């Protein structure tokens, strides 16, 4: 096991910069997820840690060693790809053992490692089969086992579940979480799926256009998104974002006027964006409730998503399951000020309340 440290890691392809100076420390045994849309630089960053991409500038340290210029085989990392990359003509046992044989490891030790990984991943019944005789989930477990037998300092996983159907993704997500708990090795995991990030990560690094947008624990990122991009990217259904301005200390836009969260120092006339998560908007008649005219209803089973408008403002509201609301119904909803997020419209950055800024101020 080892910590991983990235210091101003940058990647450029000619005049195109794919990754703009990533600084990150991954603690020994930590599970960190790189999250972002396609083309944001997350896989390129992972491949620079692995040594599969040359670093344009900056350094990568693994376990205190500067590995920036080392070959992948000399970094003691194990990588699991989106493509399982199994040898189709070899048995599962041989697939698991192949890398160890190439390193000329003792046969007894190879057998011990293969059997230990097989038992951990539930592969014992399949060791004599060929990959074509396995399901997608079983092949993904073999790919994980091939990484596990190497006993690496760091596991690197590049969208390993994207080829699986929804049910298998959930099951394999549980397998990876259990594997991390059992082996305790640092893991870096790339995905565009925010559910995978939220459920697996100790910390999430969110990227956009090669820039790091925010790094934090899943609930920290959910509760206090650093900017409008993170606010819109994290959360399902996604956060409601409404543009307006500050008038007489309130947020005002066409057909909607709201109290700002206590302590938010947005100046008079400032153009801001208010964020409200659908699950944080309360439905029901109470003081200050506003009339939501429902246009679309999405039944999600245990919950119902109401999509409609207050004046010209379109909102998504997630409530407990209801079968009574119909398109055209008017439902009273309440947006509590303490549940609102406030962003500067020009910069997109979060405007913190005074007490939140004090909480983040370093101790003297």
**What tens digit of pLDDT does each residue of 327-347 get?**
999 999 999 999 999 999 999
Per-residue model confidence (pLDDT) at position 354: 65
Write down all domains in the chain, each with its CATH number in brackets: 4-228 (3.40.50.300), 229-360 (2.40.50.140)
Per-residue model confidence (pLDDT) at position 361: 46
Model confidence pLDDT, tens digit, residues 249-260: 899 998 789 999
| DSSP sequence for 225-288 | -SBHHHHHHSSSSPPEEEEEEEETTEEEETTEEEEPPTTB-PPTT-EEEEEE-GGGEEES--TT
Mean pLDDT by 10 residues, the chain (364 residues): 92 95 96 96 96 96 95 92 87 93 90 92 92 90 90 92 84 89 93 94 97 97 97 94 93 90 86 96 88 95 95 94 92 93 96 63 42
Residue 13 to residue 15: CA distance in whole angstroms: 6
| DSSP sequence for 5-70 | EEEEEEEEETTEEEEEEEEEEE-TT-EEEEE-STTSSHHHHHHHHHTSS--SEEEEEETTEE-TTS
Give φ, ψ of 176 to 5 degrees. Answer: -65, -40
Per-residue model confidence (pLDDT) at position 162: 84
């Amino acid at each position: 096991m080892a910590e991983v440290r990235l210091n101003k890691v940058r990647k450029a392809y000619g005049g195109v910069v794919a990754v703009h100076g990533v600084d990150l420390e991954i603690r020994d045994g930590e599970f960190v997820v790189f999250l972002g849309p396609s083309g944001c630089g997350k896989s390129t960053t992972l491949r620079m840690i692995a040594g599969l991409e040359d670093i344009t500038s900056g350094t990568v340290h693994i376990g205190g060693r500067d590995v920036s210029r080392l070959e992948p085989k000399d970094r003691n990392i194990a990588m699991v790809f989106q493509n399982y990359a199994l040898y189709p003509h070899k048995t599962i046992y041989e697939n698991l053992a192949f890398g160890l044989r190439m390193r000329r490891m003792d046969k007894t030790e190879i057998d011990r490692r293969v059997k230990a990984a097989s038992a951990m991943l539930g592969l014992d019944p399949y060791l004599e089969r060929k990959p074509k005789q396995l399901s997608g989930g079983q092949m993904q477990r073999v790919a994980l086992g091939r990484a596990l037998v190497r006993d690496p300092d760091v596991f690197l996983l590049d969208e390993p579940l994207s080829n699986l159907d929804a049910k298998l993704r959930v099951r394999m997500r549980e397998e990876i979480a259990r594997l991390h708990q059992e082996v305790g090795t640092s893991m870096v995991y790339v995905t565009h799926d925010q559910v995978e990030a939220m459920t697996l990560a100790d910390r999430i690094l969110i990227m956009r256009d090669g820039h790091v947008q925010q790094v934090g624990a899943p609930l920290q990122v959910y509760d206090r998104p650093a900017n409008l991009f993170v606010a819109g990217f994290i959360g399902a259904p996604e956060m409601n974002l409404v543009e307006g301005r500050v008038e007489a200390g309130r947020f005002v836009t066409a057909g909607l006027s709201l109290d700002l969260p206590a302590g938010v120092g947005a100046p008079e006339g400032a153009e801001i964006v208010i964020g409200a998560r659908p699950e944080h908007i309360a439905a029901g008649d109470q003081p200050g409730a506003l009339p939501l005219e429902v246009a679309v209803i999405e039944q999600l089973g245990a919950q119902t998503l109401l999509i409609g408008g207050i004046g010209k403002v379109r909102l998504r509201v997630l409530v407990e399951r209801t079968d009574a609301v119909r398109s055209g119904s008017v439902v009273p909803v309440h947006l509590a000020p303490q549940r609102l997020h406030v962003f500067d419209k020009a910069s997109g950055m979060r405007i913190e309340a005074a007490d939140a800024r004090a909480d983040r101020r370093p101790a003297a």
